[in-house]
């Protein structure tokens, strides 16, 4: 299991639309990360990082040696359709200039997902498998290396947001938006994720826009699906 969890860490070192859905190897990873990462840099610095199910398939298309079909299958079986979010919130200390993260207990108490009129809270650690709890422990040193004090405060949270058949309802290809709440802070992830589709094109000058644009913001004309 230790070797398997180490493989997962490597993946984080990579950096309703009429559009054509992209295959996993066509998805631009940088655009995808912009769609699933939210940062608020006001008085409180807060980061939400959503890992949708298809994220692992995108990574597997880039690194077939690490993500063999067996490893991918084992990973998805371990996650068991859970929704995954990394979250951190805190302030920069005015005297030391260091980031001071809020305790995990605060995040866990105040973090919630609102979807389809329902509110979901993180699964308690006591109800997670040993493997899922270990994953968070393995990820923390990597985030610390990447983001310093801010990264050391990043914690992994799991949610069961399932339909009657046990499928994950937070589908990045659907038209059903959802909102992440942390206290008074709210961020809505608008779906479908535009990075998973071809861009739309303006009929006037051919300029490209994300797939979730229906009209050209400059000409007002309806964009053309590619």
Instruction: List the chain domain ranges.
Output: 2-198
pLDDT of residue 2: 52
Cβ-proximal residues to 28 (8 Å cutoff; 6+ apart), any chain:
195
Handedness of CA 114, 115, 117, 119 (dihedral sign): negative
Please enumerate in sequence order all residues whose Cβ is within 8 A of that of 78, keeping only pairs 6 or more positions apart, or say none. Answer: 129, 131, 132
Per-residue confidence (pLDDT) for residue 137, from 0 to 100 = 78
**Is 125 within 8 Å of 133 (Cβ atoms)?**
yes
Which distant-in-sequence residues (6+ apart) come within 8 Å of 226 by Cβ? 19, 20, 198, 199, 200, 201
Q: Is 223 exposed, middle or buried (0-12, 13-18, 19+ CB in 10 A)?
A: buried
Q: For the CA atoms of 8, 122, 35, 215, what is the dihedral angle to 10 degrees?
A: 150
- Please state the length of the chain: 226
**Beta strand segments in the chain, E:** 37-41, 45-51, 83-92, 99-101, 111-115, 118-120, 155-159, 178-182, 185-189, 200-201, 208-209
Strands 83-92 and 99-101: antiparallel
| Residue showing tokens 């968070």 | 136
pLDDT for res 96? 78
Give me the pLDDT at residue 15, please: 42
Q: What global pTM score does this model have?
A: 0.82
Rounded Cα distance between 155 and 161, Å, is 19
Cα separation, 44 vs 50, in Å, equals 19
- The answer to whether residues 72 and 60 touch, using CB atoms and an 8 Å cutoff, is yes
Q: What is the CA radius of gyration of the chain?
A: 19
Task: Tell me if 186 sits within 8 A of 38, measured CB to CB.
Answer: no
Low-confidence ranges of the chain (pLDDT < 70): 1-18, 226
Q: Where are the alpha helices (DSSP H) in 102-176?
A: 104-110, 130-147, 149-152
């Amino acid at each position: 299991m230790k070797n398997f969890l180490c493989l997962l860490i490597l993946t984080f070192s990579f950096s309703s639309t009429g559009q054509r859905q992209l295959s996993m190897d066509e998805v631009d990873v940088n655009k995808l990360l912009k769609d699933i990462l939210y940062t608020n840099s006001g008085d409180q610095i807060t980061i939400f990082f959503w890992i949708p199910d298809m994220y692992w398939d995108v990574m597997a298309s880039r690194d077939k040696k690490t993500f063999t079909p067996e490893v991918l299958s084992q990973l998805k079986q371990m996650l068991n359709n859970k929704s995954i979010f990394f979250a951190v919130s805190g302030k920069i200390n005015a005297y030391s200039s260091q980031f001071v993260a809020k305790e995990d207990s605060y995040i866990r108490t105040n973090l919630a997902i609102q979807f389809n009129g329902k509110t979901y809270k993180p699964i308690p650690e006591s109800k997670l498998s040993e493997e899922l709890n270990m994953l968070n422990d393995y990820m923390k040193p990597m985030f610390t290396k990447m983001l310093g004090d801010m990264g050391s405060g990043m914690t992994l949270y799991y949610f069961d947001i399932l339909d009657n058949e046990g499928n994950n309802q937070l589908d990045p290809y659907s038209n059903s938006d959802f909102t992440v709440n942390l206290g008074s802070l709210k961020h809505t992830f608008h779906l479908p994720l535009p990075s998973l589709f071809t861009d739309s094109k303006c009929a006037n000058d051919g300029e490209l826009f994300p797939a979730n644009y229906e009209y050209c913001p400059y000409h007002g004309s309806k964009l053309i699906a590619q």
